[in-house]
Amino acid sequence: MLKINNLKAGIEDNQILKGINLEIKAGEVHAIMGPNGSGKSTLASVIAGKEEYEVEGGEIDFEGQDLLDLTPEERAHKGVFLSFQYPVEIPGISVSNFIKTSINERRKAAGLESMPAKNLLKMLKEKMELLSIDKGYLSRNMNEGFSGGEKKRNEIFQMAMLEPKLAILDETDSGLDIDALRIVANGVNKLRTKDNATVVITHYQRLLDYIVPDFVHVLYKGRIVKSGGKELALELEQKGYDWITKEADKQWA
Amino acid sequence: MGLINNIKSYSETLNLSAEKKGLFNSFLQNGFPTIKDEDWKYTSLKKIIAEDFSIEKTGNDIDTSAISKHSLSFKNQLIFVDGKLISSPQIKGVTISAYADFESRNNDAIMNLNASLCNNGFNISVAKNTVVEQVIEILFFTTTENNFSQYRNQIIVGENSEIKFVEKIQNLNNSTAFVNYFTQINCDKNTNVEFNKIQNNTSNSILIDNVDIYQKDNSTCDVNTLIFGGNFTRNNLNFEQNGNNCESNMNGVSVLDDNQFADNHTFVDHKSAHCRSNEMYKGVYLGKSKGVFNGKIMVRPDAQKIDAFQSNNNLLLSEDSTIDSKPQLEIYADDVKCSHGCTIGQLDEDALFYMRSRGIGVEEAKAVLTYAFASEAIDNISVSEVRLVAQKLLADKLNVDLDFSL
């Protein structure tokens, strides 16, 4: 589904990603871990198409097309979804209007009619139940005055409504208490199918107890320095990142 | 030629009283204000008054379809065509008549012109203890070409009474129409008055709109000014609080493009204690449009424990658009709360990316964000019909497709 090939990107003169290689197949869950400043969020932003990052080389092949040739909205239309680490507040637009606009813009791009209101309401109801969200929430302004946990839950709610092929969850666990974490993880798990894939970017092992990855990658100084199965996350939890980063530093020295 | 000469010739056809002659002469002495006047620094009338207008010319009758096209279809309608009152509602406790002269304390040059030569308008008097549930819709139509016309209106609201208005000035021909307009509203004790102005006139219309409001104890008065149309609009909105516990609320939205110009001058004169004023003006400027905001708040020595808030937020969405914004606070009381904020900016890049990452195209995302920005002031309007019309005008002007029922 996704094949990242020697991706180099940065901001202004500062190169952050120094050659990322990663392959993700449909049905898989990948976790990307790593110390602060290693480039995890940059990778997520570059895949989603944030324009302030400059791509210096490489490609991001998504189902046969290089995402780097597409605008952020075109990537979304193809089924790429980013759950933001810091979701943006948009006063004046209700959650329901925002989601409706997102769904219909995507349908428009696919040559489809707008979703009938009846279907939309039914879907909203289903997904709200899935994530234990109450009804008053739909008329609130997008993320405005939301707590950290509510914002993250709103991200996963949008993901549930948009049904992406590739979902990238950037630090979705930060700001969540244990109950909210369970609800969100449960939602993500229920949305998994053999046709979609999930990338979980996280600092801590905690989230991976609930969303169990097939592969774990360690990102350090803009490169993936170690990959393994889910047991790698447990090992990192016990031993920290030092043993990996020191080895990488030695190799690059 | 030019407007002043035409006005002079017109004045000679009138049989002016000595007092009105005096007012007219003082207008002639100063003439129309120029950009040398502090209050007109960013607002030039030079090109407008060089044009050749006919004065107060009357035209043809209009059919009901023209009226319904431009109205909000309220049951109670007060309709003027070329200065003449053609329809007036019957409401219990409310006396409505065509123009009757009244004195005003506002004596700048343009108001002197209005006071001296104007003989069109309305007087509305609301009896004590009258709550008028139905909104009164006031419509002014101009049918004649290149016409300069004036209106002079007075609304007197008796103690413990409530009333709401929505007003539109509409030019029905394709030429320039210049309206010099004045409304004085006297709010007695414990009154609640709301006045909505929908300024969506044709692209060659010129308006100078003056509203003076005098408030007594425990009165609340809201004025909502919604500017989408017109070529040149100058609004002078003045509140004078002459009693304790008054509240004055102003919401404004200007959404301009092409060569449109709109200037909102507001003045709140806090003369009494324990009063409030709230002011929220939002401006969106596209194309080569230009906006001016000047918000003056005066807090007199006796106006202790007042709470005054003013905000003016602007989005400049094109290279060639401009806004001049000036808050003016004069505070002579020591135990007061006054705050103001003014912003001029572009759309939030993070919000734009957030929306695009959800599949919303860049133009649509910009329009939706702009809509959200401006609609905050519209949300404060209490009359739902006005709110809906304003939301629709806003969405149409920004080309946004939003479903308001969800």
| Closest by Cβ to B354, choosing from A88, A92, A109 | A88
- Cβ–Cβ under 8 Å, residues B403 and B215: no
Domain count, chain A: 1
A84·B402 Cβ contact <8 A: no
Which amino acid appears at position B384 of this protein?
S
Task: Determine if the pTM surpasses 0.80.
Answer: yes
- At A95, which CATH number? 3.40.50.300
Structure tokens at B40: 């007109």
The string over B358-394, giving b where at least 16 C-beta atoms fall within 10 Å of a residue's C-beta and e elsewhere, is bbbbeebbbbbbbbbbbbbbbeebebeebbebbbebb
- Cβ–Cβ under 8 Å, residues A218 and A232: yes
A113 interface with B at CB cutoff 8 Å = no
How far is the C-alpha of A157 from the C-alpha of B233, rounded, in Å? 45
Q: How confident is the model at residue A93 (pLDDT cuts 50, 70, 90)?
A: confident
Interface of B with A in 291-350 (CB under 8 A): 348-350
For A46, the domain range is: 2-252
Give the closest residue to A233 by CA, choosing from A206, A194, A196. A206
- Rounded alpha-carbon distances, angstroms, from residue A12 to A16, A56, A86: 10, 11, 22
Q: Where are the alpha helices (DSSP H) in chain A?
A: 40-48, 72-78, 95-109, 117-130, 148-162, 178-191, 230-239, 242-252
pLDDT of residue B283 exceeding 90, the answer is yes
Percent of chain B with pLDDT over 90: 86
Q: Within a 13 Å sphere around the CA of A136, how many CA atoms are in the beta-carbon half?
A: 2
How far is the C-alpha of A90 from the C-alpha of B112, rounded, in Å? 47
pLDDT of residue B101 exceeding 90, the answer is no
Strand (E) or helix (H) holding B26: helix B18-30
Structure tokens at A71: 């605008």
How far is the C-alpha of A23 from the C-alpha of B247, rounded, in Å? 64
Q: What value of ipTM does the predicted structure carry?
A: 0.95
Which residue out of B280, B284, B358 would a mutagenesis test of the A interface target, given it has the greatest number of A Cβ atoms within 10 Å? B358
What does the pLDDT read at residue B1? 63
pLDDT in tens, B302-361: 999 999 999 999 999 999 999 999 999 999 999 999 999 999 999 999 999 999 999 999
- Rounded alpha-carbon distances, angstroms, from residue A117 to A101, A124, A131, B328: 12, 10, 21, 48
Q: What share of chain B is helix, strand, coil (3-state, %, to 5)?
A: 20, 40, 35
A213 interface with B at CB cutoff 8 Å = no
| Closest by Cβ to B357, choosing from A76, A94, A103 | A76
